[in-house]
Every structure is written in C-alpha cells, then in structure tokens.
Structure 1
C-alpha cells in the first residue's frame, strides 16, 4: 500500500477533480460519511451522545461540518466549535456551514464556550488542521488542542491529528492525541513515523472515491508493508524439496562475552527456513558454539590475542564463501581494530549478498565509501546510533527524518538500508521506501537485532531478492515479537522468545 506526502495527496485530489469530475464537495461529503461510519464501528450507536466537533477554517474543518450533520441525523447531540469567523472558512466549508445553520445546530465561533462544551461531551471530533499544516500552532488553535487533550474524552481525528506534520510525524508546537484517526484515500507518512504514529491512535483508511487508477499510476515511492505483500514474497516448498534448495548461510560473528549474538543469528536463520547455516567463529571459542547450537555448523577461524576473528582468517573465509549463498557479518564481532580491518577488507571483496549489522557497521564508520565499491549487493541493518556513527550526524536528527535519511543513504551508496526502530524503514537505491508497522516496545532488548539479521540473510539464501528479503524479514520479525508479547507480555520479552515464534509468524501471513 502506498503512503502519501501532503503534496502527493493534494495532487491526487486535484486529479480526481480535473480528470474525473469528482468535485471537492463530493470528496468532502465522502470523507464525512466515512468518518461517521468508522465512529459507529468503534463506539456503536451514537444516538443521544453529546459530541463536540472542533473545526478549523480549512477543508479539514469542512470535513468536520459534514460529520456534524450526519451525526445529528443519527440522533446525536452535536455542537460545533468553529475556531475562526464564518467569513474566513474555505469555500466548501461555507457550503456545509450554511447547511448546518439551516438545521439549527449550535455553532460557536469563539473559544469562550469550548471548555464547558468539551467537559460535557462524550466524544470529541478534531477537525482543526489537516495534512497541509507546516507551521507551529499558536493562539486559539493551541488553546483548543490543549483543552481537547486535557478533557480525557475519546477523540477522533479527521485525516490526521491536528498539529502533526503529515510528512514526517513531528509535532508542530502541540498536537491532538487521538484515539482514532480516519484518514482518506491513503495513509500519510505522519501516521506511521513517530511521534505521529503514537498520536494517531488506531488508524483507519477510508475510501472517498478517488479513482483507484489515479493511485496506481501515481509516482508515490513510499509504501506500507502488508501481510499480503509478505505472503507473496515467501518461497513455496515443493513436496520433494531438499535442504540444498533453501540455501547455505555463512555468519561471521562472535567474540568473548558475545557468543549469544552469533547463536541467535544462526537460530533465526534456521527458523526462517534456511537449509544450511555455518557460523564462522574464533577458533578458541568454537567449543562454546558447538555446545550452544545443535542445528548449525561451525567454521573455526584464526583469532587475535583478544580471541576475536583475525585478518589471518580472510582467505579461509573467502574460500568457504564459494559454497555459500549469502553472508551475515557483525553480530557480536567486537570492536577489535584487527577484526574491523578484516571486515573492511571482506566487504570490498565478497561477491555474494552481504547483510551488515552491529559491529560490522561500526567497523566501517569513517570508511563509509567502502560501500560504494563493493562487488556484492549490500544490506545494512543499523539502529539510529549505529547509523549516526556511520554518517556522522546525531541519532536525534536521524529519528526526526528517518524516511528521508534512509532514502538518501541508500541512493548515495547504492545499498539497501533497513533502519531499525519504531517503525522500521527500508530504503532501496531506486528511491522506494517501505515502512513496517509490526513490532512492539518489548522488542527493545538485547539480541533482537541479531534475530533480524539472521532472518533477512536466511531469506536471501532461499532465492528471495535482497529488497524483498528485507521487507519480509522486517515484517515477520515484528510479527514474531507481537505474537511473543501476547504470550509473555512486553516487559519480559527476550530475543529467544521471538526466535521461537518465527514459524508462527510465517503461518499467519
């Protein structure tokens, strides 16, 4: 499913009107009707409910006026609070304002009555600002938003919570905290990028009769990952299949105190369906790995004085890779300087798909141009801290522009970027970005990133393209976390719980 910016949705609205004759009033009417439908779906019969509709002067406020009319017709007691004079509102809003005036619906055009009105309301409709908001909110609008939030009443946001930038999810001074957001035609980036995702509450996407062909032919390059899309990606197994058909993954990982990272990467690769997994590990730690993981093989490698993998292992690794389908590098490797040197040399020379994570990302900090000269397809899976060290900007800057930054790095280095976090963003060099909305806060614990690395690399081994492996791996990773959280709770969730739920996650898609 495509995800639109404010400009992209504006262009779709315009094309619907100019090319298909779907008037702006029809779009506004449909937006109001659909919003009421989703309200009834969530709250049941709205007859006799006291409902406050808080409207701005633009078309978002016009949507609110349509909602007010339909709620009144269903027997609700509706009061409209218009945060401007009637003379200032948009053309289509004026049309709907005239209708509700003739219905003798109470309409207040100052903030003086709003506090008392919100206190007696059962439900509040936020129709103050839509997707076009770009400046910080102040004055009467800020006052209204703060009163809505303080009311502790159920809040339905029309299109997007007022105060959320629809293009990046950031708060423009203050913002409404909605329980339900009904958006139109397509989800917006601000619904899925934090903090906007949190402020949106439950998100519903309403069809307001913008022709599907317009959406399909649009050049929108941001997408929401769906279960259906993941189901199409996952490889199907023939009844007479054998392990050789599902690939061989080589994992370069592990060091003293960090053997668990390598093991979890291997186990998650096996759980995602990889035929064979070999762990390349420091030779002095090999006995630990052979005890910890039964189903994977190990390749003992020359080690440094600190028992990390040595540059002397390079030729042995490259020779082994002749029989591997992909390599995952990084989990638990340590930040030993000699090991970091080996990683940089390998990234330059490896010819099979590479998933680079954790300490392998840290090893190329200050050497990012290596990524421009690889012989293989590369996926990096950083969290904001790791990406911060790689590209030398703060993690806060990254989190404020996750989509734009992931896209830029992907195009700059011709790689796939899976930027972890809520919600994980995947970018490919063609400019497409995919946003994932599975997962939960319980996954913020050690080892969950190692699980993701194994899942993505394991899918590549099964002849899934690297971009599709990233898409499916990220979605299933979050889904496994969600399934585990339902059983264990979020606070006690550990990476091992997620590994055990990977097969169930696959079954659900």
Structure 2
C-alpha cells in the first residue's frame, strides 16, 4: 500500500512557489509545448479516431491515468467519491471508479443524469460501473441528497468528472450544490481534464468551479491550466499520454504555446567568431529625472549583461551624474528633452530603443515616443514600457496609430494597470485581451504577470509561467525591458525575443531565490544566458 502523499488538502488559490509540473526532457525543456483549446482537443480526438485508434481505448487510457494518479498517492483505505456527469468526462470518471475498485478501493460513484448519456463510449463505461456496490444516481432537477453530501464530507479524495473543458454555460442547481459541497469539504479534489465549472475555450469560471488540488489532463495542456485566475482551480497538473499521436497536430491550427526554452533556444543570438561589438547590437535607453533615474540604468545595464555590444543611457545631466558610479561599461548621452533624445536616435548603429522606465509623464516623454516611432528605420526595434505607455492614457488612439504607421518592430511590455490605460477594458481572459491588443496596435504585446502572455499581431500567443512570486519587485520590469531590447538588437525575431526574455527573467529569479532585488536579477541573467549558450553548443 503506498503512503498517503495527499495528507492535507491543498489550497488552490495559494500562489504556487514550485516549478511547473509539466513533462520535461533531460535538459529541462518541455517536450510538449502546444496548448489546445477545448475545441482543438476535440479535433485532436476526432483525428486520432479517424486514423484508426479506437475511441473507447482512449477513454480507458484516460481512466487508467486517473486511477493510477490516485492509487500512487493514497492507500486503498482512503475514502474516494467519484462524481460522473453525462458526457465523456463522466465516462472517464466511471471507468476510473471501476479500475480503483479493481485495485482494492471501495469508491462511491455518484452519477448525474445518467439517462441522458448520448455517447456510446460513456454508455459503455456506465455499464462497466453498474456493478459497483456504492452508487448514487442524481438528475438535474434534484436537490443534493443528504447521503451524497455526507459521503463528500467524509471523503479523503473526490474525483471530479462532472463536466469537461467544453462547458459553455454557468453551473447551477444540483451541479452547483455538488461543487460547493466538494469545496467546503476537507477532501483532496482531483479533476479530470479541467475542474468542473472552467470553460476551456474562454478560460473563465462559469458561475462556480471545483477547487482542485490536482488535475489529470491528456495529450496536451490547455491555456486554462496556465492562465490566472482559472489555473488556481487546477492545482498540480498531471499530463497523461493516452495514445493520441502527435501527428494530429499537423491538421490543427495551433497558435498558442507554453513558453519553454525549447521554443527559442536555437535562435538565441550568439557572438560571431569574427564579429565586433557593433555586430552584437547597440541599445539606447531613455532615462528620466533624478528621482527615477535608477530605472533607466537598470534597463541599460541589463541590455549589456544580456549580450548587447553597447548600451547608451540618455538622461538629464543630474541623472547621469547620480547613476554613473553604478553604471559599469555604460555609455552616456545628455538628453534634457525630446530633441536631445532624437539627436541620439540619428545614430544608425543603434538597433534597439527602450523608452519609458522612469521617464516621467510629461510632453517630453510623449514626443520622444512619437518621434522615435515616426523616424525609426525598418531594422530598428523599440520597446515601450511604463511611462511610455501611461503618458498616452488620455489619448491611446494616438499611440496605436503611431505604432501601426512605424517601420520599427515594436514591443509593448505593460502590466495590467498600464494595459487597461492604453487598451481599455477588453473582454475575455488575459489571453484573449492580449491577443486583441496586439491586433489593435499591430505590434507585439507582452502582458506582464504571474502568467505573462505574449501576443503577436498575427494571433500567435505564448504563455509564460516560469516565474516565482518574488519576481514581483521594484525594478524587475525595467530589467525585463532591457533584456528584451538586447535580444531584439541582435535581430532575434520579436515573438522569440519576448518569450526568451520572459523565461530568462523568471529563471534568474528562480536561481536567486527569495528575496531578490532588481540589481541582483540583472546580474544573474548573464549566468542564465551562459548556461543556455552552453546547452545550445552541446546540441
């Protein structure tokens, strides 16, 4: 009998301070980075079945994965309640109950609307589960029976197979009662695919949802497993191979991926054997007044740390004097106003600009942004962060138009507050809002957060979760802006550069541990990049 590894119920809403529970190869890179919506996963199932794979075999494999995850973590004396809805998710649950019984458990099976099962596979699963001695049958019009409520309250584990990722309506009635009963119990909740109540297409909570400590899902993760706030309902995610071949992805338009180093590592810009410092890119950072001068320095120093050949901090004289001692190899340019900044911009060797960190919310910042966008050559990248975004809060259309008309490659890096100021209250999850913003402004947008979302104007999206909670510290955003600019200055494609910057930023914070300062973060980035370079060379 295995030890009870699930001794205490996890609190899904707590911030996870462990690294992602996703399959990795022997170099720490996820081998399955594609993310599928509920509709795309249904398409993957259909393609697998059309290729000759038996659909019931897929259901059996899924159920075995659920049962195995349970039995490997609790003993057969654990009280297990299995909730099974009328769809294929319920079929997985009913078979899992059958397999747990075969393994020596005494599960209590609660079926919902079993007479409405339309799937042949789910009907077959029900017939296999009918021999279980402890069963309760419920229908949508019922109220929660006291016996079922008591079973849930006394359970050690509740397996949630009520509804799958394709849910498209709010939970109510007896389903909501079941959800609340599970959430109020001390049981470990294990969800199949996604916790009931989570819409796997919109990545939202539909009324209420099971607060799972564990979620078992199949073939590929879904965005909802990674996006806040719905990911907090999933707990630890276990990805199970049920026999769907990877080749089915060739017939699915996958445009959302999970950020891992495997996505972009082969395209990291490395120094050429016969190159010089100008070949490695020159980054210019616009700094601000004395009281905010550290922000620009952090961005510029990080650009150098991340491999740019040169970095220039352009700022008022008193700011430069204040920061010079901590600036290392930085170059300086006195810029008291937007005209001084544009004079520096005339240097064609500058490949990337950073505007915004500590710049101030004044006309000089506004003009610096607009003129830089208007005058930029096609081979120049511009990172707009912080004040470069907020200064347009009262007139975001002007910024959007300038970005659309610019020849530059533009990357915006807002946090949630800055995002709302320049894009308004867009509807949907962070994924949907970031994608809409990138299309609206015709540029790349990196929406910072515990689940950083990066969107390209063509609809491609990268979700980055490789960041610990202690990365939320003063100056961390300035470091990220400088890191992204450094990669862009060396002609790394914009989506790759943004994804790499987000991942490297998080990895540096993981290595440093809690607590961390922005200056420490900037210094640690060099070691992360060095290890990535060594890994690339080895492969």
Q: Do these two structures clear the TM 0.5 threshold for a shared fold by scoring above it? A: yes
1:504 Cα deviation (Å)?
A: 4.2
Could you tell which deviates more after superposition, 46-55 or 414-423? 46-55
Aligned with 2:230 (options 188, 196, 203): 196
Structure 2 counterpart of 1:136? 170
Q: Secondary structure at the match of 2:239?
A: strand
Q: Secondary structure at the match of 1:148?
A: helix
Distance 2:365 2:166 in 1: 50
Structure 1 counterpart of 2:11? none
Structure 2 counterpart of 1:312? 339
Distance 1:35 1:239 in 2: 52
Alpha-carbon contact 1:46-1:75 (below 8 Å) kept? no
Distance 1:65 1:503 in 2: 52
Q: Is it true that 1:347 corresponds to 2:370 in the alignment? A: no
Distance 1:436 1:285 in 2: 34
Could you tell which deviates more after superposition, 105-114 or 171-180? 105-114
- How many residues get paired? 488
Distance 2:71 2:268 in 1: 37
1:201 Cα deviation (Å)?
A: 0.9
Structure 1 counterpart of 2:491? 463
Structure 1 counterpart of 2:295? 261
Alpha-carbon contact 2:284-2:353 (below 8 Å) kept? yes
Alpha-carbon contact 2:462-2:499 (below 8 Å) kept? yes
The one-character-per-residue Cα deviations of 1:132-185 (angstroms, maximum 9, x if unpaired) are 111111111111111111112211110001111112332111111111111112
Aligned with 1:53 (options 54, 78, 82): 82
Aligned with 2:94 (options 65, 73, 97): 65
1:216 Cα deviation (Å)?
A: 3.2
Q: Secondary structure at the match of 2:64?
A: helix
Could you tell which deviates more after superposition, 226-235 or 62-71? 226-235
Structure 1 counterpart of 2:353? 327
Alpha-carbon contact 1:86-1:109 (below 8 Å) kept? no
Flag the 1:4–1:300 CA change in 2: closer, same or farther, 3 A. same
Aligned with 1:76 (options 102, 105, 128): 105
1:449 Cα deviation (Å)?
A: 1.0
Alpha-carbon contact 2:314-2:341 (below 8 Å) kept? no
1:92 Cα deviation (Å)?
A: 2.0
Structure 2 counterpart of 1:123? 157
1:120 Cα deviation (Å)?
A: 2.9
Aligned with 2:463 (options 435, 447, 452): 435
Distance 2:133 2:521 in 1: 54
Flag the 1:40–1:231 CA change in 2: closer, same or farther, 3 A. farther
Unaligned runs of 5+ in 1: 304-309
Structure 2 counterpart of 1:225? 259
Could you tell which deviates more after superposition, 151-160 or 499-508? 499-508
Structure 2 counterpart of 1:388? 420
The one-character-per-residue Cα deviations of 1:280-325 (angstroms, maximum 9, x if unpaired) are 1112322112123122111112x2xxxxxx13214422223x1212
Q: Is it true that 1:446 corresponds to 2:480 in the alignment? A: no
Aligned with 1:496 (options 496, 519, 536): 519
Flag the 1:14–1:187 CA change in 2: closer, same or farther, 3 A. same
Distance 2:274 2:345 in 1: 32
1:50 Cα deviation (Å)?
A: 2.1
| RMSD, aligned α-carbons | 2.1
Flag the 1:424–1:87 CA change in 2: closer, same or farther, 3 A. closer
Distance 2:71 2:326 in 1: 53
Distance 2:518 2:311 in 1: 19
The one-character-per-residue Cα deviations of 1:107-126 (angstroms, maximum 9, x if unpaired) are 11134222221233221111
Q: Is it true that 1:15 corresponds to 2:47 in the alignment? A: yes
Distance 1:245 1:87 in 2: 66
1:242 Cα deviation (Å)?
A: 5.1
Q: Is it true that 1:422 corresponds to 2:450 in the alignment? A: yes
Flag the 1:264–1:47 CA change in 2: closer, same or farther, 3 A. same
Flag the 1:499–1:36 CA change in 2: closer, same or farther, 3 A. farther
Aligned with 1:24 (options 45, 55, 79): 55
Structure 2 counterpart of 1:282? 316
Distance 1:57 1:505 in 2: 49
Alpha-carbon contact 1:274-1:461 (below 8 Å) kept? yes
1:238 Cα deviation (Å)?
A: 5.9
Distance 1:275 1:40 in 2: 55
Structure 2 counterpart of 1:372? 404
**Normalised by the size of structure 1, how large is the TM-score?**
0.90
Q: Secondary structure at the match of 2:77?
A: coil
Structure ranking higher in helix proportion: 1
**Normalised by the size of structure 2, how large is the TM-score?**
0.86
**What are the residue-to-residue correspondences of 1:165-204 with 2, within 5 Å?**
165-204=199-238
Flag the 1:338–1:243 CA change in 2: closer, same or farther, 3 A. closer
Flag the 1:273–1:194 CA change in 2: closer, same or farther, 3 A. same
Distance 1:388 1:188 in 2: 25
Aligned with 1:4 (options 31, 36, 45): 36
Q: Secondary structure at the match of 1:258?
A: helix
1:469 Cα deviation (Å)?
A: 0.6
Distance 1:330 1:223 in 2: 29
Alpha-carbon contact 2:64-2:96 (below 8 Å) kept? yes
Distance 2:407 2:485 in 1: 17
